[in-house]
Amino acid sequence: MEESRIKRINELYHKSQSEGLTEEEKKEQKLLREEYLAAVRGNLRAQLNNIDMVEADGTVTNLGEKFGNREKN
């Protein structure tokens, strides 16, 4: 996510605390927060998919291959 969009999220937060937001700004804030959370979740998923575990018997299991392709419930 671009630094400018994170900066805008923070600006809207501080404005909401000091003077309140218009309906349009509330919608913008909601969309930016959803975009931010999607980026964080995507980054976390990518990190988790790249973890290798060494089992007791010495085999290596990639967690992304083992669990990454599961469908969301």
53, 61 contact by CB (below 8 A): yes
User: What is the reported pLDDT for 60?
Assistant: 92
- Encode 44-54: b = buried (16+ Cβ within 10 Å), e = exposed: eeeeeeeeeee
Residue 42 has a pLDDT of 92
Task: Locate 38 and state its tokens.
Answer: 């999607």
Residue 68, helix vs strand vs coil: coil
pTM for this structure?
0.72
Predicted confidence (pLDDT) per residue in 17-47, tens digit: 999 999 999 999 999 999 999 999 999 988 8
Look at domain 3-67 and name its CATH class: mainly alpha
Query: How is the chain split into domains, by residue range?
Result: 3-67
**Amino acid in position 53:** M
The secondary structure of residue 58, as a DSSP letter, is: S
Position 45 scores a pLDDT of: 87
